[in-house]
Structure 1
């Protein structure tokens, strides 16, 4: 028996989350945009789960939910387990308050989608801290002036965040500026930042990244054509939630029950054109699991 045969046999027997991702690599490859390397994408997904015991256990609770969240990442062409697309454990009432996996698009994912729209040459998203110098006058300044003493020690607490894009013709987009209260208001709308599983929310594990994401989402309202790509996120989730998988044998296993009843993160998911709290998630039909 060759080394490859042994490896393949082991992969087939591995019905854990990582092994299942590898088993359905061809289906994920078919969903990924052409510019994304499918082998690397799968390695990232497998590494994110196998490198975190909490995530691996959450994925085992309902592998169908986990694989569905990866399908959303694949359709968007975002890297799972990174700041493009977080994989987070969330407690689910339908699963006896056990942790399952929820995917959340991160700020780097939003920036990637803005770039992919093709209208911008650069995107700037930065946080401002108490000891920084920040100057911007609406109607006078084209772009903010943000001076940071990188070698002066503590920059202080987070006090604000801003974002803008430079269009391909050199023009500057609308400049988005949010103070601490505005960011906290956005956090208050986020289901993942409170309640069951809040300890594992990016709001509580990587707060600065979520400040950046809040500004990036607001910027995407003003950048030409970026809204189309953000709406694709919602369409992808709706398609995944309603379709009966096929085209490959065996099909991806389906979730055993709905996602957590608290719904998706209000600031993390949904159309970029409006801020809202998502409705209850669409139930998944029960289908037969693949043979072991």
Structure 2
């Protein structure tokens, strides 16, 4: 094989070339509103971020060490319609049996994007509370947290709490999730490789606190499948009702939220191994 052929072979075996090679597979699972060409370029660009080892970036090395795991992570990001290598979907190098491999992790912005995409949520609020912030929230008394930040301060102190809630399109407010440092430490302890130098817990601590609260919030808002089923059921009911029907009125359905507190009460609970499970992180 000539030097030129060797160079071409190396070029075709790069992680970026692998992404392009499996473009049709990613396109087959991407949501219809995302352009495959754009998504592929984002995935290829993500490999050129982070630290370098010699002439290559660590993510490129990790992808080459185990292409199967790398491509599986990208396929999961494509299925969810999230951008790899961003705060929607992290691509992180992890050491497995002494060598780097890529692990894909849904970030807090990815969880928020999935909630918006379901169609029932009009806005999501997620914030960290630091030691010098003013924070007050009493369930049953306060509809949402009262959080005051001194934006002129150069030091707000270390992370103390994190909270998240959603406002629904029908005007209701979801359950408010508030987690303290002890609860966050429990989540972190169950996270795979949380103490690794490559873990988002080490590099993006605030983002991981936000993710923990948003991930718990997902249990209290309608999922995409649930919301679409309800919309289709309502449309079928309207279409099947005879014109000029004189049938007796039926009982009003139970509200999707508590009228006293405004909390959503019928959100689909996502099955998880444990309350604080973050095994993929």
TM-score category of the 2 structures, normalised to the smaller one: 0.7 to 0.9
Are 1:215 and 2:213 counterparts? Answer: yes
Pairwise CA distance, 1:43: 1.0
Are 1:75 and 2:79 counterparts? Answer: yes
Cα deviations by residue, 1:197-220 (Å, 9 ceiling, x for unpaired): x11010111000000000001101
Provide structure 2 residue ranges, at least 5 long, that are not aligned to the other structure.
Answer: 1-7, 51-56, 228-268
Which of residues 16, 41, 44 is equivalent to 2:42?
Answer: 44
**CA–CA separation in structure 2 for the residues paired with 1:51 and 1:126:** 27
Counterpart position of 2:133:
132
Counterpart position of 1:200:
198
Larger relative contact order (C-alpha < 8 A, sep ≥ 6)? 1
Which of residues 55, 65, 70 is equivalent to 2:69?
Answer: 65
**CA–CA separation in structure 1 for the residues paired with 2:279 and 2:132:** 41
Secondary structure, in 3 states, of the residue corresponding to 1:273? coil
Are 1:29 and 2:27 counterparts? Answer: yes
- Compared CA separation, residues 279 and 43, structure 1 to 2 (3 A): closer
**CA–CA separation in structure 2 for the residues paired with 1:214 and 1:275:** 15
Q: Which has the larger radius of gyration?
A: 2
Are 1:272 and 2:273 counterparts? Answer: no
Say whether the 8 Å CA contact 2:69–2:102 is kept in structure 1.
yes
**CA–CA separation in structure 1 for the residues paired with 2:68 and 2:85:** 17
- Compared CA separation, residues 199 and 13, structure 1 to 2 (3 A): closer
Please tell me the root mean square deviation across aligned C-alpha atoms, in Å. Answer: 2.4
**CA–CA separation in structure 1 for the residues paired with 2:278 and 2:181:** 24
Secondary structure, in 3 states, of the residue corresponding to 1:152? coil
Provide structure 1 residue ranges, at least 5 long, that are not aligned to the other structure.
Answer: 1-9, 230-270, 281-292
**CA–CA separation in structure 2 for the residues paired with 1:275 and 1:210:** 19
Pairwise CA distance, 1:11: 10
TM-score, normalising length: structure 2: 0.75
Counterpart position of 2:93:
89
Secondary structure, in 3 states, of the residue corresponding to 1:99? strand
- Compared CA separation, residues 164 and 182, structure 1 to 2 (3 A): same
Cα deviations by residue, 1:224-283 (Å, 9 ceiling, x for unpaired): 226869xxxxxxxxxxxxxxxxxxxxxxxxxxxxxxxxxxxxxxxxx8333436899xxx
Secondary structure, in 3 states, of the residue corresponding to 1:102? strand
TM-score, normalising length: structure 1: 0.72
Pairwise CA distance, 1:101: 0.7
Counterpart position of 2:158:
157
Secondary structure, in 3 states, of the residue corresponding to 1:153? coil
- Compared CA separation, residues 113 and 228, structure 1 to 2 (3 A): farther
Pairwise CA distance, 1:90: 1.4
**CA–CA separation in structure 2 for the residues paired with 1:83 and 1:278:** 16
- Compared CA separation, residues 12 and 219, structure 1 to 2 (3 A): same
